[in-house]
Amino acid sequence: MSQELSLHQRRRKPRPDELDGIPWLSVLQPAERDKVLNVLVVGDADPGDYVCRTGRSPTYWFGVVDGLLKMNTDSADGASMTLAGLPPGGWFGEGTAVKREPYRYNVQALRKTVVGGLHIDTFHWLLDHSIGFNRFVMHQLNERLGQFIAAREIDRMSNPDLRVARSLAALFNPLLYPGVGQVLRITQQELANLVGLSRQRVNEALAVLQHERVIQVEYGGLRVLDLAALRRGEFSPARKAVA
């Protein structure tokens, strides 16, 4: 983690190619977009950097332009629960930003990540003036609710293969994470950090999923072949992959 400058101190104006990775810009009217571009910033997060911390008040609405973040909560007994992995195209914390209440979760970079930030005052201005932006946020909130319910179900699953499958399905949500497409750039260690399993056990689960033709493991990432099967767990999780 960088000890020299905070993520906020490392903020900068986004490059044109980075703007292309922000999905909600396309729903804005020209005047709205111009206003946003005057204040929109990005920050270059190093692995381990915190984007949000429990108890702190929001000053920005954040999103992932490139990279990977982890959203988690810590219980009183020290146990950690992963609420979501946040791949490219994912903007998060709408509920917290709308209510201007302190964060109830931590968000941390798992690798070098370009984090987008829209100041919370501009976020609220868009809510007051932009129909397109309101619709985007409404869809985000609806999808996020379903994601958090699924996260609690995943956390209680005892079968590691199913845990990995459902966690992967969440990362391939086209509404929350339109920047992912069909190939997710993720390492086995990063996936292990999100799922809460060892890298070795995640590797075994991926072998099962690939054998069942649900995913295809590629260099530097994973290609989804059957998203519906991932979501429903429609494969044989007890069967080991054939060597």
| Same domain for 217 and 129 | no
| Same domain for 40 and 116 | yes
Contacts of 156 (CB under 8 A, 6+ apart): none
Look at residue 10 and tell me if it is in a domain: no
Q: What residue ranges of the chain have pLDDT lower than 70?
A: 1-5, 75-78, 148, 150-158, 234-243
Question: What is the structure's pLDDT at 2?
Answer: 45
**Which residue range forms the structural domain that includes residue 64?**
16-154
Question: What is the structure's pLDDT at 138?
Answer: 92
| Same domain for 131 and 87 | yes
Identify the CA nearest to 126 among candidates 39, 211, 203, 184: 39
**Kind plus residue range of the DSSP H or E element containing 211:** helix 199-211
CB-CB contact of 104 with 72 (8 Å): no
| Same domain for 222 and 109 | no
Half-sphere exposure of 232 (CA within 13 A, CB side): 6
Q: Can you give the CATH number for the domain in which 35 is found?
A: 2.60.120.10
Look at residue 241 and tell me if it is in a domain: no
| Secondary structure class of 73 (helix, strand, coil) | strand
The tokens for 55 are 């108890």
Question: What is the structure's pLDDT at 243?
Answer: 39
CA–CA dist 237, 200 (Å, integer): 16
Look at residue 43 and tell me if it is in a domain: yes
| Same domain for 181 and 69 | no
| Same domain for 95 and 35 | yes
CA–CA dist 86, 237 (Å, integer): 25
Question: What is the structure's pLDDT at 199?
Answer: 92
Question: What is the structure's pLDDT at 173?
Answer: 85
Question: What is the structure's pLDDT at 27?
Answer: 96
Question: What is the structure's pLDDT at 234?
Answer: 67
Question: What is the structure's pLDDT at 172?
Answer: 87
